[in-house]
Chain A
Amino acid sequence: MYGRGLRTLSITTVAVMAIALGLVFFYAPLEAEQGFLQKIFYVHVPLAIVALCGFVAGGLMAIQHLRTRDPRWDMRSYVAIHMSLIFAVATLITGSIWAKGSWGHWWVWSEPTLVSFLIVFLLYATYQPLRFAIEDPERQGRYASVFAILAGAFVPLNFLAVRLSTEYLHPRVLGSSSNLPAKMQLTFLVSLLGIALLYLTLCKYELTAKHTRAQLRALRRRLAGESVEGAAPRGRSAAPHLALSPSASASTPRSA
């Protein structure tokens, strides 16, 4: 059920990413001060924006989970935060490279966005250990949702506090997309779209994989003559599991 439209989405993502990279390397003009190095901007900034939106979206899905008690929302929230964490690592790495290239240091405390990002990353890095430390799946989902809401609200507040605390020592080369030349702006927007699509595609893949694995496990247990009820994975897991009812898995045995 999660696999529907996955191929179209994947192809669109690859196409948009290809166009974005083409624009980055052949269309966007070289920046006067930084030259070629500035091109990392088209990867770094979209990654950061998408990761932050993913964190906040994870919080919104967690609200949905607490309201409806539907474990599928917990799964979506988990996948959104999980994927955002990966994007956040990529953001920190590309940001570091950019800082090294333009300011000569791998890490600069005077760049408020980067510092806020590190704090947000450190907070969300505890999401998986928190889940892993709770055994009961229902309580795991509930507590994880409470955390996701708290952390989702923390994201904007933290950015405010860190931004206030920093005097701009370094000139901000590219603060927002509004003061960019038109060609750069177009390239940036297409890159942003590409990265956002990449995020969505990867989330969909993870959801599909998790769902398929749950179906497979339910089927295996049926074959072995065990009870399918719940069909929880053996051992502890940080990831939520979808409790498939036997009828749902029986009616679509090969759909995945």
Chain B
Amino acid sequence: MRRTVAALLRKELLVELRTLESVPGMSLFAVTTFVVFHFALNQNSVSGDEAAGILWVTLLFAAMLGVNRLFVADQDQGGFDAFLLAPVDRSAMLLAKALALLAYLIVLELVAVPAFGLLLLGPSLSQALPDLLVVLLLADLGIAVIGTLVAALAVRTRARDLLGALLALPLLVPVVIGGARATSPLLGLTHAASPPIRWLLTLGLYDLVFGLIAYAVFDFLLED
């Protein structure tokens, strides 16, 4: 299982490195969205709830771009067929894809969060950073799991670009709630000590529940 996941993950990252289809697009999209927010809100710097909201909306929509592309190559170029021919556990595909998406999200945030601090954020980013990393990681896990599952659901339908976003957005509302509420005290003008623990717990519970469910149902998406 571990070797299968490692092989699949390696293939994912190799394909991404050679084609550069997802991550640069996601990062560019995030930076552009910050510019759009600057003009749409007519503000030079934001803080608190507003800052958390802008950050999470941008990250979520940028993640959607990656989610929509996640299985397209497998569907169009026979990757699914090749995978099904191999005598390996099908859950390996879920794990590998989720880890690949997680990696994309982390790279996205490596670009988007500093850009956000530079372009829009009023308070300094460095004081919020250690706690922010924890929140981002917990939320990324949830987005990666749900994103992988939804991408697999949507990719073999006729309206895959539309359905992916339609399915994923309501499912990710709890992640946005948890992420934004945990982030807003960190980005406030008066820096709070730490993010409220209940939001971290909510995010953790979300990751756990949907991780288990995804593991249980993913096989059924890969039967033909």
Please report A residues at the B interface, Cβ cutoff 8 Å.
66, 119-120, 122-123, 126, 129-130, 133-136, 138-139, 142-143, 145-147, 149-151, 153-154, 157-158, 160-162, 164-165
Contacts and interface: CB of A to CB of B under 8 A. Distances in A.
Contacts of A143: 153, 156-157, 221
Contacts of B206: 157, 161
B211 to A, nearest CB: 11
Given A134-B158, A150-B217, 4 more contacts: A126-B167, A160-B174, A162-B177, A164-B177
8 contacts: A126-B167, A126-B170, A130-B163, A135-B158, A143-B156, A150-B171, A150-B214, A165-B181
A164 B202 contact: yes
A138 B156 CA distance: 13
Contact of B213 (A119, A126, A150): A150
Contact of B158 (A122, A133, A142): A133
Contacts of B157: 130, 133-134, 143
Majority SS at the chain A contact face = helix
Contacts of B177: 161-162, 164-165
Contact of A146 (B160, B166, B199, B217): B217
Majority SS at the chain B contact face = helix
A161 B201 CA distance: 10
Contacts of B198: 164
Given A129-B159, A133-B157, A158 B174 contact: yes
Contact of B170 (A119, A145, A157): A119
Contacts of B169: 122
B153 A130 contact: yes
A98 to B, nearest CB: 23
A145 B220 contact: yes
B210 A153 contact: yes
Nearest to B166: A126
B49 to A, nearest CB: 12
B155 to A, nearest CB: 11
A134 B156 contact: yes
Interface string B199-219: 100100110011001101100
B223 interface: yes
Contacts of A162: 173-174, 177
A151 B224 CA distance: 23
Contacts of A161: 173-174, 177-178, 202, 206
